[in-house]
Amino acid sequence: MKQVAVLLAAASLTGCATHGAPSGALSSYDGLQKQEGSMRTGVSQRIDQTRLRGVRSVSLPPAVLADTPSTRWLSAEERRNLLAEIDAQICFELSERYEITAHGGAADAHVRAVVTRVSPTGRAASALSAASGFLIPGPVGLRVPGTIGGLGAEAEMILADGVQASALIWNRNATPIGTDKPSMSRIGDAMQFAEPFGDAVASTMAKDKPRIKNTQGDPCARHGPRLRAANWLAGAATGLYVPPGARKAGDEDKRGAKQ
C-alpha cells in the first residue's frame, strides 16, 4: 500500500484542459466561443443553427495533419493510423444525423478536420501505471508522471456555397487520475481521444439534428467495425489501451502528407 500512496501523491499533479489557440487551418475563426464546464477538455465552437437546418447530406474529406512542432515527431505509420481513426470516428458520429456522400460528390456541405497537436504517451512509465491499476480496484485508473499524452484538433462545416456553418477547436490531455488508460503506443492517448473528438464534431456540426436510419447499408463500412471487441478485451486483461489495428486510410492523394 505504500507504493500506492506514493503513486497517488505523484498523480496529484493533474493538468487542466487547455483551450488551444487557432492554428490557422480553418477558413474562419470568427465568432468562436469558449465552452466552460469541463476540467478535461478545452472546447471553442461556433454554431450557425439557421444554416445547419438546411443540411441533409455531407461529404467527409480525409483529415489532415497540421505541420507544427507538436506533430512532426510522428512516424509515417503513426500519422496514417491516427488520421484514419479520426476519419472513422467522425464518420461514425455524423452518419447518425446526415447522409454521407462520397468525398468529391454532391452534398449540402463538407466537414473537414485538422489534427493540430499530438502529445506523446510515455511508454516506459505506462507499464507501471498499468500495474498500479491492479492494486487500486474500480473503474478509475492511475497514471504516473511521464505517461500523459494528448490531442488537439479542429473541424469546420463548409456549405456548398462556401460559407462556414460551424467550427470547432478541441483539445484534451490525459489525466493522472481518471478513466484514460496508459498505453505502450506513443499515440495511445491521441488514438483514445479520436472518439470524444468525433463526439464533439457531431455535437457542433449536427446540433439538434434527429437521428436518421441508413437504408443503404453502413456508409462508414470502409473504416471497419465500429466496435472492436478484441482490443477492449486485451485492454481489460492488461490494464493498457491497445490501439486498434490500422483502419483503411483515406486516399493519400486527397489527404496529403501534411497541411
Confidence of residue 143 (pLDDT cuts 50, 70, 90): low
d(CA 156, CA 29): 10
**Beta strand residue intervals within 87-196, DSSP E:** 99-101, 109-119, 141-142, 150-159, 164-173, 177-178
* pLDDT for 145: 63
For the cut 70, the answer to whether the pLDDT of residue 4 exceeds it is no
Confidence of residue 217 (pLDDT cuts 50, 70, 90): confident
For the cut 70, the answer to whether the pLDDT of residue 33 exceeds it is yes
CB 32 within 8 A of CB 166: no
Burial class of residue 38, CB neighbours in 10 A (0-12, 13-18, 19+): exposed
Written as nine digits, the cell of 128 is: 507501471
CB 108 within 8 A of CB 56: yes
Q: Which of 151-165, 172-186, 188-202, 225-239 has the lowest average pLDDT?
A: 225-239
Confidence of residue 39 (pLDDT cuts 50, 70, 90): confident
CB 191 within 8 A of CB 115: no
For the cut 90, the answer to whether the pLDDT of residue 164 exceeds it is yes
Report which DSSP code applies to 154.
Answer: E
Q: How far is CA 253 from its chain centroid?
A: 23
d(CA 203, CA 222): 23
Sequence-separated contacts (24+) of 211-217 with Cβ below 8 Å: 211/96, 211/97, 212/96, 212/97, 212/98, 212/99, 214/95, 214/99
